[in-house]
Amino acid sequence: MPKHPLRQFTAALFAAVLCTAPAAAPPSQWQGAAFAGDRATLEKLAAAGGRVVRVYHHDTDAWVLDEAARLGLKVVMGLWVAHPRHGFRIDDAAAVAAQERDLRAFVERHRNHPALLAWGVGNEVEIGERDPLPMWREIDRLAGIVKRLDPAHPTLMSVADTGDEQLRLLADCCASVDLLGINLYGGAVFALPGRLRAAAITKPVVVTEFGPLGQWQAGRKPWGAPVEPTSTEKAAFYREALAFLARQPQVTGSFPFLWGAKQEQTGTWHGLLLADGSLTAMTDALSEAWGRRVSEPAPRIRGIGIAADAFDPGQEISAGVDAVSFDGSPLRTEWKVVAESAGRAPHDDLEPPPARIPVRVLHADAATVRFVGPERPGAYRLFMTIRDRKGKAATANLPFLVR
């Protein structure tokens, strides 16, 4: 029986750039996560069993190469390509040339780095564009330059999942790109193989970001607040998704989003860790998928609830969480009220964290809270962070309205 060409391609990549993998059980795919954080956060990724880290910005993330080499990790090094929605113009010859010079210099400087696995040329540059092809062709042109400067490492482009029509355009696009990266969320992960076949995409694929339902996909309260899954629900998704993707021959690697913390709708929606570095059920799920046994898992949330969805100004509010630790030992819960996020500005990827709202707490323990609600009408969230005696955390939040 002939060998599958995608498996041969994947095997060649590992033979070339993961030669340090244990001979007894080489991974069939890149195992790691999309990363944003500091050195301590990267160390936790290595300790959890990750083998590869994906970073986005060559100008700010170059330090990851040296640190990854120290930790035995490989790096998909992001070469940041400016977006039209941020003001970049593909018809501005001076801007295009300046960007090319910058990327050339970076590749020449780092192409022989021992931690380098692949070059990630751009990320979602097509967002907001009616026709994505001009920017994709620019990515392809830049990828061709990178390949000429460094033929030893594959090139990767990452696109957003904006529908099947755009996916079909990628079948005949970008010959200088070795690997097609797709950022997927929610059930789109499980539909990917069929969609690739329907789009006639035969190139090896990397799931360059994935996670549970994004805030743009989730169910909403009547006033529009999206409902965030609990950390326990997110962990269950990651277990299922990682197992599914590991069985797909066209998938070269998958990167859960995000090993670190990120404010996007909430401070916990997309981060696999908390802002203080605490590990969670999601990091447990990744570690297990990467072959590490987790003997002391994070707290498990069995249910959450609040007395009502809407309250009068200054009304007493009660809420609760049903959670258990891995060994039955007591848990502790931090409760806080936060204003609903206003989101990002149209041309900015950074979202300011919403304000914490001071409230008068009448009672609080590990399972329940009673407090006097805000006086000002508006949309809020009650956040709960549950910790066990080992410091691992579980998270959930409940949107509510003051009218």
pLDDT tier at 350, thresholds 50, 70, 90: confident
Residues 6+ away with beta carbon under 8 Å from 17: 74, 116, 117, 118, 153
Mean pLDDT of the 84-95 span = 94
Q: Which residue type, as a one-letter code, is found at position 132?
A: P
Query: What does the DSSP assignment read for 46-80?
Result: HHTT--EEE---HHHHTHHHHHHHHHT-EEEEEE-
Using the 8-state DSSP alphabet, how is residue 259 labeled?
B
Cβ atoms 86, 347 nearer than 8 A: yes
pLDDT tier at 133, thresholds 50, 70, 90: very high
Predicted confidence at residue 40, as pLDDT, reads: 98
Distance (Å, whole) CA 147 – CA 178: 10
Domain ranges of the chain: 5-20+28-289, 300-402
Count Cα neighbours of 31 within 13 Å in the Cβ-side half-sphere.
23
- CA-closest candidate to residue 240, choices 228, 224, 229: 229
Mean pLDDT of the 218-244 span = 98
Predicted confidence at residue 298, as pLDDT, reads: 98
> Does pLDDT of 139 surpass 50?
yes
Cβ atoms 109, 116 nearer than 8 A: no
Distance (Å, whole) CA 184 – CA 196: 13
- What average pLDDT is seen over the chain? 93
> Does pLDDT of 70 surpass 50?
yes
Element (DSSP H or E) covering residue 333: strand 332-339
Query: What does the DSSP assignment read for 165-229?
Result: HHHHHGGGS-TT-SEEEEEEETTHHHHHHHHHHHTT--S-EEEEEEES--TTTS-B-TTSPBPPP
Q: The CATH number of 300-402 is which of 2.30.180.10, 2.60.40.10, 1.10.260.40, 3.40.190.10?
A: 2.60.40.10
| Domain boundaries 5-20+28-289, CATH class | alpha beta
Q: At what angle do helices 93-110 and 133-149 cross, to 10 degrees?
A: 30
- CA-closest candidate to residue 65, choices 29, 105, 119, 15: 119
- CA-closest candidate to residue 6, choices 179, 161, 143: 179
Predicted confidence at residue 340, as pLDDT, reads: 97
pLDDT tier at 343, thresholds 50, 70, 90: confident
pTM over 0.85: yes
> Does pLDDT of 383 surpass 90?
yes
Predicted confidence at residue 7, as pLDDT, reads: 45
Query: What does the DSSP assignment read for 92-120?
Result: -HHHHHHHHHHHHHHHHHHTT-TTEEEEE
Predicted confidence at residue 105, as pLDDT, reads: 98
Mean pLDDT of the 388-403 span = 97
Predicted confidence at residue 116, as pLDDT, reads: 98
Distance (Å, whole) CA 142 – CA 149: 11
> Does pLDDT of 326 surpass 70?
yes
Q: What is the dihedral of CA 247, 203, 85, 271, to 10 degrees?
A: 20
Distance (Å, whole) CA 45 – CA 33: 8
Predicted confidence at residue 24, as pLDDT, reads: 31
Mean pLDDT of the 122-138 span = 96
Q: Exposed, middle or buried, 149 (CB in 10 Å: 0-12/13-18/19+)?
A: middle
Mean pLDDT of the 205-215 span = 97
Distance (Å, whole) CA 74 – CA 42: 12
pLDDT tens sequence across 46-57: 999 999 999 999
Residues 6+ away with beta carbon under 8 Å from 257: 33, 34, 183, 209, 210, 211, 270, 272
Mean pLDDT of the 380-394 span = 97
> Does pLDDT of 315 surpass 70?
yes
pLDDT tens sequence across 12-44: 454 444 433 333 333 569 999 999 999 999 999
For the ranges 182-186, 265-269, 341-345, the lowest mean pLDDT is seen at 341-345
Mean pLDDT of the 250-262 span = 97
Mean pLDDT of the 373-401 span = 98
Distance (Å, whole) CA 131 – CA 348: 21
pLDDT tier at 342, thresholds 50, 70, 90: confident
Residue with token string 């593909």: 90
How many percent of the chain have pLDDT more than 90?
A: 90
pLDDT tens sequence across 141-195: 999 999 999 999 999 999 999 999 999 999 999 999 999 999 999 999 999 999 9
> Does pLDDT of 318 surpass 60?
yes
Cβ atoms 392, 345 nearer than 8 A: no
> What separation in angstroms does the CA of 67 have from each of 9, 154, 247, 304?
28, 21, 31, 40
